[in-house]
Structure 1
């Protein structure tokens, strides 16, 4: 995983069938903390938010991270007011009980369980169409805003069909080649991935521009695009930088606002938003980036709460595809978690590890980037690894933060736990209770079908 992270840093499903047998769940009870009340049960606009890798421990950790220690109470965060239930995440039986992002995204996008690695195909590798495909077929505007490359597993499953999530070039081609009534599936696509769209063998970027899409490769260019345009915005060769390394600390909120600006119309819209890099922080067991990516998501959800207050005919659903890393708040029998050591970080652990090798006083450099002072012993320990390879330095800084915060991890992969479901706005009651990840797509299909 570290090698993939370093490379990324240095480079900086069958036709849809109406699911008439799946009735919309009636509300079990009113949610006491839910502040947004829907004005109607069938939404005009649907915003699906996926926080990749965000198991329940991440939302608890974020609440602790944001707590004001000078007050006796634990302050609530945006996630607390919108929690409505849980979802199971297991893939098709052939892949066991623990899902990957591709099978989970296929389930969330199409309502069909598939094998790990599948992008918009069933267990027989036959195409299954997504809620985004159906929204476009029904005349809605559609889009996505993600912090990964837009051909990564989650966004890909809403548009493409491929037997393997690793076939990024073929997935990029599907973005252009798969049509709905001669229209592209997505009107707005914001994220990373220039490498896959501008290639020697096929310049898909140029094809989109020739087809009338506005193109942006910087946030300032995105700002200048006329409202209501079809937009392809690719802001990095592969994924966007970690939010700790970005000048724009609300990058997901920013992309979400811009996507909505171009999607709003009388027929409604469907938007996929993904906080992609919560998962990557979990794979790397990097608690600093995990909390920073969660904060970027929280800013986005706060904005969406405000949007729904002004546009009560909009539904927002947030869930995770799975949990990553086996994050534990407290470790080694010590009943302590100290998130204060994460609050002043000015760079990701990866960037710190890459840059400390060229510093004359590496320990002091690390301290300056972490934002707190270190003891002489801690400085000496960090100095001692400065001449090691990138992976060794990365692991050393990461382990140092884990020790300071008393954070634990059980794996560098995924776990099979249920994930939380959050919803607010028109029709949110349909997501209350214990459901399966496929139920989310099935309910959205029904909403799209009932719009008119």
Structure 2
């Protein structure tokens, strides 16, 4: 016989490592997790990264963001998201693209451009015997989650969307939006109203927006769901079918969450906590699962041109991405895709002619005979800490303003008490000024008002009536923040697509694609057999 020499231990280790890597690369997909940062364009990711890396008091303290970690360890692509017949997408259409891989009409959920119902990746997963879940910090019936478990001609039909979701028997549904799940008669504040007050601990506004007497909470319980309304009851639940509704409408914004994060008395779960519970429940199915997680209030902050709140929403989303990454990084059976449905606000840092820098001495040879003095203000990094220090969202500032005498003085005081950036009395008056609505339409839900907040430029792109006051606050603060906003709505800016998991699956995401392509890839992954 040949004398075969022993293989060195280092070689064995290398072989085992390569074998493990190959097994990971070729592993079939059992679980598919899609995380959508609603409104999270490249500028929003840039805001997060600039804060994490450069803010003097960054909470990351030298750590990488979860999004950077995913990019470094996975693949990165870019995706377009426009409808087939238009240039700019809304969340319902874009989420329908991601959910089905089929072109969808604007403001509709779960249908193709002709109005036919199309099967979503969630519904495909159910057919494969997998468990399914939807998590969002907006409302459960809001546009993004709706597209995965409902088929309706318009996103505003949230009462019907709730019925669709329940009929679809999604195993785990966690979000806000209680108002579409309870009967109209609860508004009379009778027995059911009192029961719900007790069940929610008095922490949730009890009011219905339904137009009928359907009580979808009792229907859910009859269908085997455990129905919970607080962080504590969510944690205690051991059910494999779970419906959690934790707010009247949207859940806590990022600033509120940041200030209450470590409070033992906090009764509203975070996006991270809802996601963790969903993973615990869904992972019990040996056939796997599909889970969609939405960080939906990045978009809301973008609509409000509210950079401080948007930073906190990015932090909230990144915290959740980190949890999911930690959950899957030692596994070889899970695909994670992180993307956005679109960009909101046309956000970006920009250099300006305001507050140009003074000349300063620098020690290098190039500055021996000449001071360092750039022509323009390229933005001070202390802006990042000041954005983080914002105490209230613009939405909460305007809610508080509604309880005052509604004078410029009151608005100025509220803004300046809650932001490191200040407005003048004149700016406050400008924010409160009105003008003729040049786009008046008496039949339009948003444009029927004859007067609108006065916008000096790009006024056609600020569409939401009194909500525009929030944008005007952002515009007033923008010079101090070195921030520009181009709109109060969405842009067609391509968004990042980050995929992590088996290489044979993730490599297809590393391209310039369209969200319908991403949807097709998700459906293909869900169908992958072991």
| TM-score normalised to structure 2 length | 0.70
Unaligned runs of 5+ in 1: 1-34, 179-183
After superposition, the CA RMSD in angstroms is 2.9
Partner of 2:388: 343
Counterparts of 1:248-397 in structure 2, within 5 Å, are 248=261, 251-265=270-284, 266-330=286-350, 332=352, 334-336=377-379, 338-355=383-400, 358=404, 366-370=415-419, 372=420, 378=423, 394-395=470-471, 397=473
Aligned partners of 1:243 and 1:251 also within 8 Å = no
Instruction: Report the 3-state secondary structure (helix = DSSP H, G, I; strand = E; otherwise coil) of the residue aligned with 2:32.
Output: strand
Q: Does 1:212 align with 2:224?
A: yes
Instruction: Report the 3-state secondary structure (helix = DSSP H, G, I; strand = E; otherwise coil) of the residue aligned with 1:270.
Output: strand
Counterparts of 1:10-409 in structure 2, within 5 Å, are 38=24, 40-69=26-55, 76-83=64-71, 84-93=76-85, 96-178=86-168, 184=169, 186-200=170-184, 201=212, 202-226=214-238, 228-246=239-257, 247-248=260-261, 251-265=270-284, 266-330=286-350, 332=352, 334-336=377-379, 338-355=383-400, 358=404, 366-370=415-419, 372=420, 378=423, 394-395=470-471, 397-409=473-485
Q: Does 1:443 align with 2:521?
A: yes
C-alpha displacement of 1:252 = 1.4
Q: Write out per-residue CA displacement over residues 58-79 of structure 1, whole angstroms, 9 at most, x where no aligned residue.
A: 11121112223569x9975332
Q: Does 1:415 align with 2:491?
A: yes
The structure with the larger Rg is: 2
Instruction: Report the 3-state secondary structure (helix = DSSP H, G, I; strand = E; otherwise coil) of the residue aligned with 2:305.
Output: coil
Distance 2:513 2:98 in 1: 12
Distance 1:363 1:248 in 2: 28
Aligned partners of 1:63 and 1:75 also within 8 Å = no
Distance 1:162 1:391 in 2: 26
Larger deviation, residues 282-291 vs 62-71: 62-71
C-alpha displacement of 1:136 = 0.8
Instruction: Report the 3-state secondary structure (helix = DSSP H, G, I; strand = E; otherwise coil) of the residue aligned with 1:48.
Output: strand
C-alpha displacement of 1:430 = 2.6
Distance 2:289 2:103 in 1: 25
Label 1:221 to 1:240 Cα distance change in 2 as closer, same or farther (>3 A).
same
Instruction: Report the 3-state secondary structure (helix = DSSP H, G, I; strand = E; otherwise coil) of the residue aligned with 1:158.
Output: helix
| TM-score normalised to structure 1 length | 0.81
Aligned partners of 2:431 and 2:472 also within 8 Å = no
Aligned partners of 2:421 and 2:480 also within 8 Å = no
Q: Write out per-residue CA displacement over residues 22-44 of structure 1, whole angstroms, 9 at most, x where no aligned residue.
A: xxxxxxxxxxxxx9x94544221
Unaligned runs of 5+ in 2: 1-20, 185-211, 263-268, 354-376, 434-452, 454-465
Aligned partners of 1:111 and 1:437 also within 8 Å = yes
Instruction: Report the 3-state secondary structure (helix = DSSP H, G, I; strand = E; otherwise coil) of the residue aligned with 1:316.
Output: strand
